């Protein structure tokens, strides 16, 4: 009997929308305030630095994706370059962990917004569980349905951000954008330490382009469409982020943004008082829902890809014959998500995601350097000069060096858990041969 495989339904437009929706996501709706609390009016510098790091790594992903359009993503690239099961496993599970913590955070955020609209009649935990199950059902139903839902959510969340840019444009120029005065930085001095520390925080907002690799086996003409889609998604999202950060501190003082529970809702309230606040709350709900949806797609495809590589139990690579989606991986992911989302406050886990992913991106960039220099490796349709992944690796390392102790400690504990899981599962030693086939 022929083995069921993923079907190629995603064109370039849908892929670019997928990437834009994933990158924009929920991060910017709450992160601007926190970043302003660290950077003051100079918050745009943190986003700009994150943009450079994401852009360089995005170029590396685009090049690798055109060479090896595989669903395993970062795990496959590092395995191909280093030929180490252990390293590929750690990188792959770290990427997966970042997606799960982001999903769990988004689930609780969505439930919080919904609870505020419907009142306290429905327990928050029930709303969280219901949201997780609905998202999983959409993904299991099929990639086409997921792409249509992503298109709707991305259009709504993008519309909300464009509303802020248009309504707040008249406020631009009203403040000193090089002023970094905050409670923790009373002198307002701007130096590499402040910028890189702020960039570690804002980098979480750029996470998402790596998810595009994990749907590579469902993309039409992936050698061409993957690199173009990644570059378009990173470029569009970067411009919007820098613009939003400038507008936000122009409309509302950075000190007020820092303590706001819904900073962009407050920005809209002042810049466009005619726009109903409840309507923007709905926009925020669609944004966090989109983040959860796209991370669920990524997580299920990453589990499927790593199972095919022998790095996770083979049963996770089973494809549903009717929907052509990784059913077992999706159901497994749902169980893990429910445990995390219902366990309480996991915002600290989400903050450590940037540290984990910067480490993964460091190895992805180094992988491209190794593969470009290795004889016999096939070239892709999109190639970048060697200095691109080298710079990408250096910037990721520089940002990691300025991560806060608490973030490093928590990231380290997650890595320990992944290492323990590796030795408990004992992934197949034939994974390298399977990858090369």
Q: What is the mean pLDDT of residues 48-71?
A: 84
CB 275 within 8 A of CB 38: no
- Predicted confidence (pLDDT) per residue in 355-395, tens digit: 888 898 999 999 999 999 998 888 887 888 999 999 999 99
Q: What separation, in Å, do the N-terminal and C-terminal C-alpha atoms of the chain show?
A: 20
User: Which of 112-116, 148-152, 168-172, 433-437 tops mean pLDDT?
Assistant: 168-172
Query: Could you tell me the pLDDT band of residue 106, with boundaries at 50, 70 and 90?
Result: confident
Query: Could you tell me the pLDDT band of residue 327, with boundaries at 50, 70 and 90?
Result: confident
Q: How many C-beta atoms surround the C-beta of residue 187 within 10 A?
A: 7
In this predicted structure, what is the pLDDT of residue 294? 75
Task: Please list, residue by residue across 270-300, b when 16 or more beta carbons sit within 10 angstroms of its beta carbon and e when fewer do.
Answer: ebbeebeeeebeebbbbbbbbbbbbbbbbbb
For residues 422 and 183, give the distance between their C-alpha atoms in angstroms, rounded to a whole number.
43
CB 350 within 8 A of CB 102: yes
- Predicted confidence (pLDDT) per residue in 151-199, tens digit: 777 788 888 889 999 999 999 998 999 988 887 788 888 888 888 888 8
Looking at the predicted structure, is the pLDDT value of residue 4 above 80? Answer: no
Looking at the predicted structure, is the pLDDT value of residue 200 above 90? Answer: no
Looking at the predicted structure, is the pLDDT value of residue 434 above 50? Answer: no
- Kindly list the distances between the CA atom of residue 128 and the CA atoms of 80, 395, 430, 437, in Å, as whole numbers in the listed order: 39, 37, 40, 42
Looking at the predicted structure, is the pLDDT value of residue 342 above 60? Answer: yes
Tokens at residue 380, please?
A: 């892709």
Rg of the chain on CA atoms, in Å: 21
Nearest C-alpha neighbor of 182 from the set 198, 203, 204: 198
For residues 129 and 197, give the distance between their C-alpha atoms in angstroms, rounded to a whole number.
34
In this predicted structure, what is the pLDDT of residue 357? 85
Q: Which domains does the chain have, with CATH numbers?
A: 12-427 (1.20.1740.10)
Global pTM reads 0.76
- Kindly list the distances between the CA atom of residue 290 and the CA atoms of 114, 158, 201, 266, 297, in Å, as whole numbers in the listed order: 15, 11, 21, 22, 11
- Predicted confidence (pLDDT) per residue in 396-409, tens digit: 999 888 887 777 88
- Who wins on pLDDT, 247 or 412? 247
């Amino acid at each position: 009997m022929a083995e069921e495989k993923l079907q190629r339904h995603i064109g370039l437009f849908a892929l670019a929308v997928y990437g834009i929706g994933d990158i924009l996501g929920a991060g910017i709706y709450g992160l601007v305030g926190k970043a302003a609390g660290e950077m003051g009016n100079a918050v745009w510098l943190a986003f700009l630095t994150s943009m450079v790091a994401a852009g360089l790594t995005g170029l590396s992903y685009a090049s690798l994706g055109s060479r090896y359009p595989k669903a395993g993503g970062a795990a496959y690239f590092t395995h191909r370059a280093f030929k180490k099961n252990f390293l590929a496993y750690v990188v792959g599970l770290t990427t997966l962990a970042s997606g799960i913590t982001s999903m769990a955070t988004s689930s609780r955020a969505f439930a919080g917004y919904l609870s505020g609209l419907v009142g306290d009649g429905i327990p928050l935990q029930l709303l969280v569980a219901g949201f997780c199950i609905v998202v999983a059902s959409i993904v299991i139903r099929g990639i086409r349905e997921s792409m249509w839902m992503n298109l709707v959510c991305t259009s709504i969340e993008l519309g909300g951000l464009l509303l802020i840019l248009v309504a707040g444009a008249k406020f631009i120029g009203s403040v000193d954008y090089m002023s970094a005065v905050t409670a923790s930085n009373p002198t307002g001095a701007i130096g590499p330490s402040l910028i890189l520390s702020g960039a570690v925080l804002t980098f979480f907002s750029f996470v998402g382009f790596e998810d595009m690799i994990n749907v590579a086996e469902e993309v039409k003409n992936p050698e061409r469409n993957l690199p173009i889609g990644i570059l378009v998604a990173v470029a569009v999202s970067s411009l919007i982020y820098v613009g939003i950060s400038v507008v936000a501190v122009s409309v509302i003082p950075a000190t007020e943004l820092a303590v706001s529970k819904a900073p962009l809702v407050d920005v809209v309230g002042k810049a466009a008082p005619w726009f109903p606040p409840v309507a923007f709350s709905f926009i925020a709900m669609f944004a966090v829902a989109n983040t959860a949806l796209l991370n669920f797609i990524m997580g299920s495809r990453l589990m499927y890809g790593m199972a095919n590589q022998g790095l996770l139990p083979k049963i996770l690579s089973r494809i549903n014959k009717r929907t052509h989606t990784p059913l077992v991986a999706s159901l497994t992911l749902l169980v893990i998500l429910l445990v995390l989302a219902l366990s309480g406050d996991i915002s600290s886990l989400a903050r450590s995601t940037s540290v984990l992913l910067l480490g993964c991106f460091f190895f992805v960039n180094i992988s491209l350097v190794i593969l470009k220099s290795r004889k016999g490796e096939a070239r892709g349709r999109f190639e970048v000069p060697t200095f691109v992944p080298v710079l990408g690796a250096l910037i990721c390392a520089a940002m990691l060096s300025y991560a806060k102790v608490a973030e490093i400690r928590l990231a380290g504990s997650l890595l320990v858990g992944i290492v323990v899981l590796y030795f408990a599962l004992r992934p197949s030693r034939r994974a390298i041969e399977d990858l090369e086939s």
